[in-house]
C-alpha cells in the first residue's frame, strides 16, 4: 500500500517551513555536501553536471544558427521519443505496445539523452509512484526543492537506501520531479502532491500534466483536455494510426469520475 501524504489533511507546521509560493511543507533536511560519505560515483556526477552547465554558459559566445537548430532537434528527439514516449510511457508504465525493433530504437534514443540506462530510469520511476511524496520517494519535495529537482542524484548512498541524467534535457525531466509536485493545479483526487503545470508540460513534451498522470498512471495520454498540449501523446497517437502502437491505454469515464473531487464530496 502506498505511503501517501493527504493533500486535504496537511502535516503539522515544520521547523523548515514551506517551499516558496507553495503549500508544500519541508519536513526533513538531508545534508548533501558536508558530513556525509562521498562515493566515486557521487563525485563523477557533480563534476559532470558542473561540466555541462559550464559548456551551456559558453554557448552564447559560440552561437551559430546551425548549432542552434541541431540543439533544438536533439532536445526534441531525445525528450519526446526517448524520454516521454519510450522511458516513461512505454517502458515504465506499459501504456501501449510497440514492435520490438521500434521499442529498442526508442529506448536507444532515450539512452542518448544521458539519463542513464532504461533499467535504472524505470526502476526509480516506479519506486517514485509506489512511495510518492513520502520519505521513501527517491526525489520527494518534502526534503526541499533542490533535493527534489536534482541534488538527490549526487548521493548514490541515498539512492541505494531507497531501493535501488544535454543540460536542457536534464532539467526538463528534473522539473517534473520537483516543480510538478510543488506548483500548479491539483484537479484529481490522487492523495499526493502531484500538480498539473502548463509550462513544464511545454518544456517536457506533455510530462507536466503530472496530476493527470498520477491519477491515471497507465494512460498513454497525459494531456487529457483538448487544450493540454501533449507532444508525447501526439507521437503515440500517430504510431497507433499507422498500426505500430497497439493496446494503447486511456482512462475510462468511470475511472475519471472515481478520481474526481466531485466524487469524493458526494460520499462525504
Residue 141, CA distances (Å) to 28, 29, 74, 175 in order: 10, 10, 29, 11
Q: Write down the pLDDT at residue 237.
A: 98
Residue 96 DSSP symbol: S
Residue 247 DSSP symbol: S
pLDDT tens figures, 147-184: 776 665 666 555 544 473 344 445 556 678 788 998 99
pLDDT tens figures, 108-152: 999 998 788 898 888 888 888 888 877 777 777 777 776 776 665
- Residue 221, pLDDT > 60, answer yes
Higher-confidence residue: 250 or 135? 250
- Residue 22, pLDDT > 60, answer yes
- Long-range CB contacts (< 8 A, 24+ apart) of 55-63? 55/167, 56/167
Query: Nearest-CA neighbor of 162 among 150, 175, 153?
Result: 153
Query: Under a CB-based contact definition with an 8 Å cutoff, are residues 87 and 118 in contact?
Result: yes
Cα separation, 207 vs 160, in Å, equals 26
pLDDT tens figures, 55-98: 888 888 888 889 889 889 998 999 999 999 999 999 999 999 99
Q: Write down the pLDDT at residue 129.
A: 84
Amino acid at each position: 500500500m502506498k505511503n501517501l501524504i493527504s493533500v486535504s489533511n496537511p502535516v503539522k507546521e515544520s521547523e523548515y517551513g514551506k517551499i516558496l509560493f507553495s503549500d508544500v511543507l519541508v519536513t526533513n533536511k538531508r545534508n548533501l555536501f558536508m558530513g556525509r560519505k562521498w562515493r566515486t560515483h557521487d563525485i563523477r556526477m557533480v563534476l559532470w553536471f558542473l561540466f555541462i552547465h559550464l559548456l551551456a554558459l559558453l554557448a552564447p559566445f559560440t552561437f551559430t544558427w546551425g548549432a542552434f537548430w541541431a540543439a533544438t532537434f536533439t532536445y526534441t528527439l531525445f525528450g519526446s521519443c526517448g524520454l516521454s514516449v519510450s522511458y516513461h510511457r512505454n517502458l515504465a508504465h506499459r501504456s501501449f505496445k510497440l514492435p520490438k525493433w521500434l521499442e529498442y530504437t526508442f529506448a536507444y534514443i532515450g539512452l542518448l539523452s544521458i539519463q542513464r540506462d532504461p533499467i535504472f530510469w524505470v526502476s526509480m520511476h516506479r519506486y517514485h509512484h509506489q512511495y510518492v511524496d513520502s520519505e521513501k520517494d527517491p526525489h520527494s519535495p518534502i526534503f526541499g526543492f533542490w533535493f527534489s529537482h536534482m541534488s538527490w542524484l549526487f548521493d548514490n548512498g541515498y539512492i541505494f537506501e531507497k531501493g535501488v541524467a544535454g543540460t536542457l534535457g536534464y532539467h526538463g525531466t528534473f522539473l517534473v520531479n520537483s516543480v510538478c509536485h510543488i506548483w500548479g493545479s491539483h484537479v484529481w483526487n490522487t492523495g499526493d502532491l502531484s500538480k498539473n503545470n502548463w509550462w513544464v508540460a511545454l518544456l517536457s513534451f506533455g510530462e507536466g500534466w503530472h496530476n493527470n498522470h498520477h491519477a491515471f498512471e497507465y494512460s498513454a495520454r497525459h494531456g487529457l483536455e483538448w487544450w493540454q498540449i501533449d507532444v508525447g501523446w501526439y507521437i503515440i497517437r500517430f504510431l497507433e494510426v499507422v498500426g505500430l502502437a497497439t493496446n494503447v491505454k486511456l482512462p475510462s469515464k468511470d475511472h475519471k469520475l472515481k478520481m474526481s473531487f466531485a466524487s469524493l464530496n458526494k460520499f462525504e
